Homo-oligomer: A and B are copies of this chain.
Amino acid sequence: MAICCQTPFKPTPISPSTALNTHTRLTISESQTFTCNLSQPSLTLTTEPEPIFTFVKSFAPATVANLGPGFDFLGCAVDGLGDYVTITVDPKVRPGQICISEIHGPKKLSKDPLWNCAGIAAISTMKMLGIRSVGLSLSLHKGLPLGSGLGSSAASAAAAAVAVNEIFGKKLGFDDLVNAGLESEAKVSGFHADNIAPAIMGGFVLIRSYEPLELMRLQFPNDKELFFVLVSPEFEAPTKKMRAALPAEIGMSHHVWNCSQAGALVASVLQGDVEGLGKALSSDKIVEPKRAPLIPGMESVKKAAIEAGAFGCTISGAGPTAVAVIDCEEKGKEIGIKMVEAFLKDGNLKASAMVRRLDRVGARLVSSMPI
C-alpha cells in the first residue's frame, strides 16, 4: 500500500529578485560558508516550478559524523556507499502529494511519507518549492544498513531532497536541501546536521551554527588521498542509547583538550594532512571513552587499527561501526582485516570491513528522463 501525504505549505510570494532573504549569505572561498534562516526557505518562488523530468534517480553517500573531537559538528561523506531514491511524476498521485511506492531494503521502514526519512525530506523539499500541481511517487533503495553509524537516515533524506529538487529544475541550494534533510533527521535521529550536511554537500562539512544554519565546507585538497576503513560489527548500538552515555558536564581541562584537537582536525583536513587528521580523530577524551565500552571489542579494534598502521581510529557516528583513516587503499585493506579480527577476538562479534575514499561530491543525480 502506498500512503500519500500532502505538502502542508502556504508559500509566501516573494519576488525572485529578493529571493535570498536577509539571513542568507553565500561566501565562495576555499571553504564555502552557507547561512540561512531555519524558519523559512532561502528561496520562495512566486510561480510554482514545473517538472523538467518524468523521473529522476539520485544517490546520496554514507557519512561519518562525530569524528572524535569533531563530535556533533563535523562530518564527512564516504564514496561508493549510500542510498538511491527514484522520484517519478505520477498522475495517479493527487497533485501536491507524494507516495512511497516501494522500498528495497529493511522491512521495518515505513511507507508512510511522514514516518520515512526520505518521505519527510521529500515533503519538506516540495514545500520549499511550492509544489501544488504535481503528484510524485518515491522509490527508495537502501544501500546502507540501519543503525550502523554511517548516516543511513541522512543518506535517504539527502537522496530524496536532491531528487525532488532536480525533478523541478534544481531551484534550491545546499542550505535549503540541508534544512529539508534536517527536518527528517530531527524526527528520526535527533536535530543534528553533521550527517545530512556532508551527505548533501560531500567532503567535510563543519556545522557552525543552527540559528541561522551556517555550514562551512572544509576542502580536503584534491591532490591528496584519504581512505576510510569502515568496520561494522553485527551489533545494535541505537543512537539514543549512545547519546544517553554522554557526560552532561565536562571538566575544563578536557574541554580545552578536545577544542584544541578539533582545531588540529580542521587544520589537518584543510591541509590534506591525513596523519594529522588521524591523530586528531583518535584524540577524543570526552565522547569516545564513554561510548567505546558500550561496543564490545571497540577499544581493541582501535588498538589493532593503530598497530596495523592506521593514522587514527574512532567510532563512526554513534557506532557500532569503527572508522580508521589511512592514505593508501591496500594498507587500508590490511588494517580492515586486523580490525575485523579484533572485533571477533575481543568483542566476540562478527564484523565486515570496507575501504572507501572520501566522497567529494555529495548527493547527486544519477539518471533521469526529460519530459
Contacts and interface: CB of A to CB of B under 8 A. Distances in A.
A277 to B, nearest CB: 12
A141 interface: no
Q: Which of A73, A264, A267, A270 has the most CB of B within 10 A?
A: A267
Q: Which 9 A-B pairs have the closest CB atoms?
A: A73-B260, A249-B249, A263-B266, A259-B262, A72-B256, A266-B266, A250-B250, A262-B263, A30-B271
6 contacts: A31-B267, A69-B259, A73-B263, A74-B260, A208-B261, A270-B271
A333 interface: no
A122 to B, nearest CB: 29
A256 B73 contact: yes
Q: What is the size category of the interface that chain A forms with chain B?
A: 35 or more
One complex includes copies of this chain to the number of 2
A24 B237 CA distance: 40
Contacts of A206: 260, 263-264, 267
A87 interface: no
Nearest to A218: B267
A244 to B, nearest CB: 12
A97 interface: no
Contact of A31 (B207, B260, B271): B271
A246 interface: yes
A72 B29 CA distance: 29
Interface in A257-295: 258-267, 270-271, 273, 276, 286
A171 B170 CA distance: 61
A70 interface: yes
Interface string A220-238: 0000000000000000000
Interface string A63-96: 0000001111110000000000000000000000
Given A74-B263, A265-B263, A266-B266, A248 B252 contact: yes
A216 interface: yes
Interface string A313-351: 000000000000000000000000000000000000000
Contacts of A247: 252
A270 B221 CA distance: 13
A303 interface: no
Contacts of A249: 249-252
Given A251-B248, A255-B250, A264 B71 contact: no
A216 B70 CA distance: 18
Contacts of A263: 70, 73-74, 206, 262-263, 265-266
A264 B260 CA distance: 12
A165 interface: no
Given A31-B267, A216-B267, 12 more contacts: A30-B271, A69-B259, A71-B259, A74-B260, A74-B263, A206-B267, A208-B264, A249-B250, A250-B255, A259-B262, A263-B265, A267-B270
A266 B262 CA distance: 9
A44 interface: no
Given A216-B267, A255-B286, A263-B74, A273 B208 contact: no
A207 B267 CA distance: 12
